[in-house]
């Protein structure tokens, strides 16, 4: 991470990944994507960090998409466009599969690849000034970092088609209404509110938190019955861990659990 385009910091069981190209509204160029990939490599085997907060620097933009100037260089380069899309999608998939709970903290624009980045996080907390759109069709393109798939899963395919083919820009409250974001808060409260949610998560039993994410994600590739079986298996595994021994004893002894 030599150029420091992505700021990565670890503080008390939490990691912070902040994209820092404010002059380009934090657009995702290849260096930024590479640094996001490197951060995922650091996080994937780390058992101490329980939450990752992803943000963009400055007030104006979370991330305004893939870097359009770099996209221009890929024009007419045979399979380069497909390769770029696949490469970026793999990085976002690494982010999605991290064991930590990942929160996109969105202020300002989350456009194109920026919205796709937020969608690869477990959930989104937005400021009231956040604006969401997949405007790729205005450039003669479609989303390429798995946004067609993740948006449809999150808000349903009818809404996703409308969003993508109109390239409309949506307010934070509209995004809340269709389930794209979990919370909308005043801009000045965004950081503190996100911290509060992160603190609630890190207070809980870490293995149980990690397992909950894994089991919920398993539902995407399984039938309801298979998902329930995965849930039961992991419930049983957790009940044999020292973490649940402590949580249950603490309840019975009327004291706070020490995880
Ligand atoms: C490169 C970008 C950029 C981007 C903004 N900038 N978005 N540079 N890639 N995606 C740069 C501008 O060129 C400008 O640089 C500076 O940031 C400030 O932007 P302005 O346009 O001057 O600001 P403003 O007028 O306030 O408009 C803000 C905006 C607009 C509405 C967000 O910048 C915009 O529409 N950006 C593009 C959004 C977009 O189409 N995103 C999707 C990209 S495609 P200079 O040097 O001129 O000051 C995509 C595909 C993903 O994401 C999948 C790939 C496989």
- Does the Cβ of 88 fall within 6 Å of ligand 1? yes
Q: How confident is the model at residue 130 (pLDDT cuts 50, 70, 90)?
A: very high
Mean pLDDT of the chain: 96
Alpha carbon of 175 to ligand 1 centroid (Å): 21
CB 131 within 8 A of CB 169: yes
* Coil vs helix vs strand at 147: helix
Any ligand 1 atom below 6 A from CB of 66: yes
pLDDT for 179-195, tens place per residue?
999 999 999 999 999 99
- Return phi, psi of residue 171, to 5°: -80, 170
Q: Which atom number of ligand 1 is nearest to the Cα of residue 138?
A: 40
- Report pLDDT for 64: 98
157 pLDDT band (50/70/90 cuts)? very high
Q: Is 63 in the pocket of ligand 1 (CB under 6 A)?
A: no
**ipTM rounded to 2 decimals:** 0.99
Determine contact, residues 67/29, Cβ cutoff 8 Å. yes
Q: What is the mean pLDDT of residues 243-254?
A: 97
Torsion angle of alpha carbons 60, 61, 62, 65, nearest 10°? 180
The reported pLDDT for the residue numbered 76 is: 86
pTM greater than the 0.90 cutoff: yes
Per-residue model confidence as pLDDT tens digits over 134-152: 999 999 999 999 999 999 9
Residue 243's alpha-carbon distances to 48, 131, 135, 224, in angstroms, are 15, 41, 46, 28
In the chain, which ranges are E strands? 6-11, 14-19, 51-56, 61-63, 101-106, 109-111, 123-127, 131-133, 170-171, 183-185
* Options 3, 116, 174, 243, the catalytic residue: 116
Mean pLDDT of 214-220: 94
- Tens of pLDDT, residues 69-81: 999 999 988 899 9
Strand partners, 106: 126
The DSSP letter of residue 204 is S
Instruction: Decide: 115 and 133 in contact? Cβ < 8 Å.
Output: yes
Residue 221: pLDDT band (50, 70, 90) is confident
Q: Kindly list the distances between the CA atom of residue 90 and the CA atoms of 10, 22, 37, 76, 87, in Å, as whole numbers in the listed order.
A: 24, 25, 9, 23, 5
Domains, the chain, in order of start with CATH, read: 6-202 (3.90.226.10), 206-252 (1.10.12)
pLDDT band at 2 (very low <50, low <70, confident <90, very high): very low
Of 105, 118, 121, 95, which is closest to residue 40 (Cα–Cα)?
95
């Amino acid at each position: 991470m030599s150029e420091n385009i992505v700021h990565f910091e670890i503080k008390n069981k939490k990691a912070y990944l902040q994209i820092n190209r404010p002059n380009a509204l934090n657009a995702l160029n290849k260096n930024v994507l590479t640094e996001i990939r490197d951060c995922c490599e650091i996080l994937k085997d780390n058992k101490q960090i329980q939450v990752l907060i992803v943000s963009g620097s400055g007030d104006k933009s979370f991330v305004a998409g893939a870097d359009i100037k770099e996209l221009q260089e890929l024009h007419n380069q045979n399979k380069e466009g497909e390769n770029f899309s696949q490469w970026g999608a793999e990085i976002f998939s690494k982010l999605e599969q991290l064991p930590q709970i990942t929160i996109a903290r969105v202020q300002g624009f989350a456009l194109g690849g920026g919205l796709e980045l937020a969608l690869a996080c477990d959930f989104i907390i937005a400021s009231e000034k956040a604006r969401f759109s997949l405007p790729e069709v205005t450039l003669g393109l479609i989303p390429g970092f798995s946004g067609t798939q993740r948006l449809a899963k999150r808000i349903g395919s009818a809404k996703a088609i409308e969003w993508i083919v109109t390239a409309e820009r949506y307010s934070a409250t509209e995004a809340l209404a269709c389930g794209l974001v979990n919370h909308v808060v005043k801009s000045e409260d965004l950081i503190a509110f996100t911290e509060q949610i992160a603190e609630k998560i890190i207070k809980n039993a870490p293995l149980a938190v990690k397992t909950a994410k894994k089991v919920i994600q398993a539902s995407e590739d399984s039938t309801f019955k298979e998902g329930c079986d995965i849930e039961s298996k992991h419930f049983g595994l957790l009940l044999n861990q020292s973490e649940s021994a402590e949580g249950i004893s603490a309840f019975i002894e009327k004291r706070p659990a020490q995880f």
